[in-house]
Structure 1
């Protein structure tokens, strides 16, 4: 499997990918990702070079967004002063579920963050998705706190405010990395 940068041509594919994940989450009883994600926001994130895809031949097996900046209002000023990379929108195709692609992708993100000078790999998860929170804890993340207020709509409740982090560090997740980041060796 190979990791590549997403391109503007991938917007429709990634939006459909997210809809597939939202339908699966609904079947599990979660309200996560029920609102459609704005295509223009996705395009801007892709154009910033923060969206990556795991390809299995011609099939998209997974996607992750890894950015140097956090969503506003989640992390403290002290935390933001520590070099960090932030994971969002980690999604694995149902056709590739059960192969530890998500765990390997988190290792890849931690390695990439480390090579870019970050001390921490951080994320925010859906506040009500306890299964997802347990997954991240099993992947070595430590829960920091849950931010419940200050959502994007009128400062109301925040739906994705479960904050966790783990140290960034070298890893070999076993993907072919076609993004051009030099190796540590």
Structure 2
């Protein structure tokens, strides 16, 4: 069984381990990683807006950040006025990929947003491959934004109650 819960400072080490395991997996495939920022990202566990995915048997196997604030660039004023949560910095341990923990986290966020009277869950990424992956989770590409050094793909999914709420305690 899996559980989503707010991260605490006590989770910093476990979150860092997840980020480093994911980074190693990405590096083996020649993809960009978070290795250089693993410590800074893991420190978010004590900030109050990170959540962790736990396995009953193995502890923390994933993490994500969920906030009401999101980048003002790329979204229209009408979109910014809508109640939404912004999902970012999701990392999962690759040893658990057969359980699709990233999808569990995304579905949990969609359900969590609905339970908290939000209309949308939004997220962004830098890679077309992630766009395709997030589309399998029901997100749609809302905007493409050229930033200084990257193209950013901004995605959205309407908040709704999902069965993932029953999977995740």
- Relative to the length of structure 2, the TM-score reads 0.86
Q: Using the alignment, how far apart are the partners of 2:144 and 2:33 within structure 1?
A: 16
Q: 1:52 maps to which residue?
A: 51
The 5 A counterparts of 1:143-158 are 143-149=141-147, 156-158=148-150
Moved more, 98-107 or 71-80: 71-80
SS in 1 for 2:37: coil
Matched residue count:
166
Q: Using the alignment, how far apart are the partners of 2:35 and 2:51 within structure 1?
A: 22
Q: Using the alignment, how far apart are the partners of 1:75 and 1:139 within structure 2?
A: 21
For 1:57-107, what per-residue CA distance to the aligned partner results, in whole angstroms no more than 9, with x for missing partners? 243222121111113534333221111101111222112112122222211
Shift of 1:33: 2.6
Indicate yes or no: 2:85 matched with 1:93.
no
- After superposition, the Cα gap between the structure-2 partners of 1:135 and 1:15, relative to the gap in structure 1 and judged at 3 Å, is same
Structure 2: which 5+ runs fail to align? Answer: none
Query: Greater share of strand residues, 1 or 2?
Result: 2
Indicate yes or no: 2:70 matched with 1:70.
yes
Match of 1:170 among 161, 165, 168: 161
- Relative to the length of structure 1, the TM-score reads 0.79
- After superposition, the Cα gap between the structure-2 partners of 1:141 and 1:176, relative to the gap in structure 1 and judged at 3 Å, is closer
Contact 1:3 1:175 in 2 (8 A): no
Shift of 1:135: 0.7
Q: Using the alignment, how far apart are the partners of 2:73 and 2:17 within structure 1?
A: 29
Shift of 1:37: 4.0
Structure 1: which 5+ runs fail to align? Answer: 150-155, 178-185
Contact 2:61 2:96 in 1 (8 A): yes
* Runs of 4+ with >4 A deviation: none
Query: Greater share of helix residues, 1 or 2?
Result: 2
Shift of 1:112: 0.6
Q: Using the alignment, how far apart are the partners of 2:47 and 2:74 within structure 1?
A: 21
Contact 2:140 2:155 in 1 (8 A): yes
